[in-house]
């Protein structure tokens, strides 16, 4: 069986920047084990699979090299980029995911792709895990928590950029990941994201966590529209807008490659 595959760099307009995602359009779902095997073989932050449903929306699932992920922003952006490129007359689409519901996506007048996510506001954390404090080389000012991650807040962008994580300690915090963030020098806020328990060491750009970070910084900075920089080695730029119970996250994407996956029919059965 032959399957199309695209590799897209998301939240950037340049190849080799932003976050890489593989996108595999499907006519019907493959066995879970096979999708995981493809994602592991790709060895990218995420591989997204989507199937068009009877309502005209796209059911979407995301896999890291290690496991299926409940919510992934950059691979959603990459998938939208592929769909818009394949169907140039489309201006808006909708994804559906089990953990987060319906995710409307549209092309904006200024050439960005805008995704609508449910807000995931962080909550106070009464007791900070020892592995979190010991796993971060710089003590945070404050730590909050969401279903997805621990949110460590710092006083300066320099602290976020210079922090050196102890990934073996942070991996023990799974299933939650760790995001570190501060008010930015050039941008409204900056962040870095570590997920050794779920996918890798440091994620280049994490769209999903901005459904948490954008409301957090919107409240603290007193603005509903923000520009964020994820300060990884590859880096990425995210335009965020907080409105009611939604967070609108926009970015650019660029295609790195287009190819074909060849899977012998004997391996199409569940792994």
Q: Cα–Cα distance between 190 and 121 in angstroms, integer?
A: 17
Q: Which of 46, 114, 157, 159 is catalytic?
A: 46
Cα end-to-end span (Å), the chain = 16
User: How far apart, in whole angstroms, are the C-alpha atoms of residue 77 and residue 58?
Assistant: 13
Residues with Cβ within 8 Å of 115's Cβ and at least 6 positions away in sequence, in order, are: 73, 76, 77, 80, 103, 104, 105, 207, 248, 249, 250
Bridge partners (DSSP) of residue 175 are none
Quick one: which of 72, 66, 97 has its CA closest to 10? 72
Concatenate the DSSP letters of all residues of 104-147 into one string: EEEE-TTS-EEEEEE----EE-SS--HHHHHHBSS--SEEEE-S
Q: Is 114 marked active-site?
A: no
CA distance 19 to 69: 16
Show which residues are catalytic. Answer: 46
């Amino acid at each position: 069986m032959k399957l199309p595959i695209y590799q897209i760099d998301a939240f950037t307009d340049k190849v080799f920047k932003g976050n890489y995602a593989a996108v595999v359009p499907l006519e019907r779902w493959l066995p879970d084990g096979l999708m995981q095997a493809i994602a592991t073989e790709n060895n990218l932050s995420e591989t997204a699979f989507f199937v068009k449903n009877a309502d005209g929306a796209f059911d979407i699932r995301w896999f890291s090299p290690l496991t299926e992920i409940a919510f992934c922003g950059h691979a959603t952006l990459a998938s939208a980029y592929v769909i818009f490129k394949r169907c140039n007359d489309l201006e808006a689409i909708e994804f559906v995911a089990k953990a987060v519901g319906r995710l409307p996506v549209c092309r904006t007048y200024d050439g960005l792709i805008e995704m609508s996510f449910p807000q995931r506001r962080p909550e106070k954390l009464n007791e900070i895990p020892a592995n979190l404090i010991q796993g971060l080389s710089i003590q945070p000012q404050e730590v909050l928590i969401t279903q997805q991650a621990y949110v460590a807040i710092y006083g300066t962008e320099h602290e976020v950029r210079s922090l050196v994580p102890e990934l073996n300690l942070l991996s023990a915090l799974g299933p939650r990941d760790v995001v570190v963030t501060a008010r930015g020098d050039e941008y409204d806020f900056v962040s870095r994201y570590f997920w050794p328990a779920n996918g890798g060491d440091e994620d280049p750009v994490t769209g999903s966590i901005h459904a948490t970070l954008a409301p957090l910084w919107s409240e603290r900075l007193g603005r509903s529209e923000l520009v964020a920089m994820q300060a990884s080695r590859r880096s990425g730029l995210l335009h965020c807008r907080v409105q009611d119970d939604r967070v609108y996250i926009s970015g650019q994407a660029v295609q790195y490659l287009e190819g074909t996956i060849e899977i012998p029919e004997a391996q199409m059965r569940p792994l």
